[in-house]
Amino acid sequence: MMDLLARKVGRVGHITFNRPAALNALSHPMSLTLESALDDWREDEEVQLILIDAEGPRAFCAGGDIAAVYHAGKAGDYSVGRDFWRDEYRMNAKIAEYPKPVVALMQGFVMGGGVGVGGHASHRVVGETTQIAMPESGIGLIPDVGGSLVLGRAPGHVGEYLGVTGARIGAADAIYAGFADAFVPEADWPALKGRLIETADPAQINRTPAPDARLPGLQAEIDAAFSAPTLAEIVARLTASGTAFAADCLKAIARNSPLSMAATIDLVRGARKLASIRDALDHEFRFTWRACETGDFLEGVRAQIIDKDRQPRWRHAGIEALDAAEVARMLEPLGREAAIWE
pLDDT, one tens digit per residue, over 20-31 is: 999 999 999 999
What is the pLDDT at residue 211? 85
Q: Which of 35, 136, 282, 284 is catalytic?
A: 136
Instruction: Reply yes or no on whether the pLDDT at 258 is more than 90.
Output: yes
Residue 159 appears among annotated catalytic residues = no
Nearest to 106 by CA among 57, 167, 159: 57
What is the pLDDT at residue 60? 98
Residue 342 appears among annotated catalytic residues = no
Fold of domain 4-133+170-204: 2-enoyl-CoA Hydratase; Chain A, domain 1 (3.90.226)
Predicted TM-score of the model (pTM): 0.96
Q: Which of 118-127, 201-210, 314-323 has the highest mean pLDDT?
A: 118-127
Query: How many whole angstroms separate alpha carbon 20 and alpha carbon 194?
Result: 22
Can you point out the beta strands (E) in 69-148? 102-106, 109-111, 123-126, 131-133
Helix (H, G, I), strand (E, B) or coil at 51: strand
Query: How many whole angstroms separate alpha carbon 264 and alpha carbon 150?
Result: 13
Q: Sign of dihedral through CA atoms 284, 287, 291, 296?
A: negative
Cβ count within 10 A of residue 224: 16
Q: Which of 113, 118, 152, 159 is catalytic?
A: 113
Average pLDDT over the chain, rounded to an integer = 96
Instruction: Reply yes or no on whether the pLDDT at 328 is more than 90.
Output: yes
Q: Sign of dihedral through CA atoms 48, 50, 55, 58?
A: negative
Q: Which of 144, 181, 186, 296 is catalytic?
A: 144
Query: What are the residues facing 5 on neighbouring strands?
Result: 16
Residue 217 appears among annotated catalytic residues = no
Environment class of 107 (CB within 10 Å of its CB; exposed 0-12, middle 13-18, buried 19+):
buried
Q: Which amino acid is at 70?
A: Y
Domain ranges of the chain: 4-133+170-204, 215-338
Average pLDDT, stretch 32-44? 98
Residue 152 appears among annotated catalytic residues = no
What is the pLDDT at residue 38? 98
Nearest to 102 by CA among 209, 4, 200: 200
Contact 38, 91 (CB under 8 A): yes
What is the pLDDT at residue 208? 87
Instruction: Reply yes or no on whether the pLDDT at 337 is more than 90.
Output: no
Q: What's the Cα-to-Cα distance from 120 to each of 30, 47, 163, 179, 256, rounded to whole Å?
A: 17, 19, 17, 8, 26
Query: How many whole angstroms separate alpha carbon 125 and alpha carbon 308?
Result: 33
Contact 167, 109 (CB under 8 A): no
Query: How many whole angstroms separate alpha carbon 19 and alpha carbon 61?
Result: 9
Instruction: Reply yes or no on whether the pLDDT at 210 is more than 90.
Output: no
